[in-house]
Every structure is written in C-alpha cells, then in structure tokens.
C-alpha cells in the first residue's frame, strides 16, 4: 500500500489507538486491555501504521512469562481500520513486529487469534503445544524466533489479559 508508514507508538497516539481498536473490534474490550497493559507496564513493543497522517493500524506485543525459564512475547491486540482491512496493513505490522522482536533476542512469540490468519507469518499450533495454559487448540499458536529455551513450561500472561 502506498504512503503507509510504520513507526513505534508514542504516548500521544493513545486516543487514536483506543478509537481504532474499538472500531476494528466493534466493542471497547480490546481498547481497555491495551490501556491496562500500558498502565501495568506490560508492553514489550507497540507499533502503529499511518496513512496520510491518519492512524490506520496498531499492534501490541506483551511480555510472556514461562515459569522457571526465560520468557517470550505475546501478540495482541492488533487492529486495522475497517475501511482498509485486507489490504496488507496487518501483515506489514506483524512482520515488522516479529523482525524487531527477533533482533532484540525474543525466543518465541505466542498468539491467541484467527487460526487462518497467523500461520502465514510462521505461527503454528504445534509450536505452542509443549506450553501449558488454559488455551489449547488451533487458535493458540506460537512462532519460534530462535532454537533454544524455553521449550516448555507454564505460561504466565499479564494480568490485564484476565487469564
């Protein structure tokens, strides 16, 4: 897409991020989760996509604890302006975020989300299978950024996610 700019989110983006999440999900829950993750200091990385000066995409990654071992990251929420969905904005945000996490040494990234969307970025149910949490099945996936620990263990989610 032309004129699409990805950048780190800043404090002044907060109202636009909340508005975007509310419109994309059609409810306020995810905007509230973003606010609570920020308040608790549970944000690892937050990127936004801008088109012609307007915020049209958002992705957040949070720290994921793996009991007794090194941690990983979790993806979500993410959202794209309803008028621009299915035009590649979300894919650019996911790829840019994963690249930045990989560069920073994150070992593994988990996601609870659409089973037919995230596999295109390397996420799979099998990569998450050795980790224990209340989620199991095709919607709970992981992508390994590098080989090595943690390979298993109980996952600890930030409290804002209410897990």
Ligand X SMILES: CC(C)(COP(=O)(O)OP(=O)(O)OC[C@H]1O[C@@H](n2cnc3c(N)ncnc32)[C@H](O)[C@@H]1OP(=O)(O)O)[C@@H](O)C(=O)NCCC(=O)NCCS
Footprint of ligand X (CB under 6 A):
24-25, 76, 78-80, 85-91, 113-114, 116-117
Question: Closest residue (Cβ) to ligand X?
Answer: 90
Give the shortest CB-56-to-ligand X separation in angstroms: 9
99 vs 146, beta carbon nearer ligand X: 99
Give the shortest CB-22-to-ligand X separation in angstroms: 10
114 vs 146, beta carbon nearer ligand X: 114
Cross-strand pairs, 47: 8, 59
Give the shortest CB-68-to-ligand X separation in angstroms: 28
Give the shortest CB-101-to-ligand X separation in angstroms: 17
87 vs 124, beta carbon nearer ligand X: 87
Work out the end-to-end distance of the chain between its first and last CA atoms, rounded to an integer number of angstroms.
36
Give the shortest CB-77-to-ligand X separation in angstroms: 6
46 vs 79, beta carbon nearer ligand X: 79
The CA-based diameter of the chain, rounded to the nearest angstrom, is: 46
86 vs 134, beta carbon nearer ligand X: 86
Residue ranges of alpha helices (H) inside the chain are 14-25, 29-39, 89-103, 125-128
């Amino acid at each position: 897409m032309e004129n699409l700019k990805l950048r780190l989110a800043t404090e002044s983006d907060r109202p636009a991020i909340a508005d975007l999440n509310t419109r994309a999900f059609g409810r306020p829950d995810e905007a509230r989760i973003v606010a609570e993750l920020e308040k608790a200091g549970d944000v690892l990385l937050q990127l936004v996509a801008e088109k012609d000066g307007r915020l049209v995409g958002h992705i957040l990654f949070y720290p994921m604890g793996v009991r007794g071992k090194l941690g990983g990251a979790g993806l979500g929420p993410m959202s794209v302006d309803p008028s621009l969905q299915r035009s590649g904005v979300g894919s650019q945000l996911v790829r840019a975020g994963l690249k930045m996490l990989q560069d920073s040494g994150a070992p593994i990234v988990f996601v609870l989300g659409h089973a037919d969307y995230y596999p295109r970025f390397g996420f799979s149910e099998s990569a998450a299978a050795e980790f224990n949490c209340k989620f199991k099945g095709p919607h709970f996936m992981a992508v390994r950024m590098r080989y090595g620990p943690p390979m298993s263990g109980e996952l600890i989610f930030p409290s804002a996610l209410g897990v």
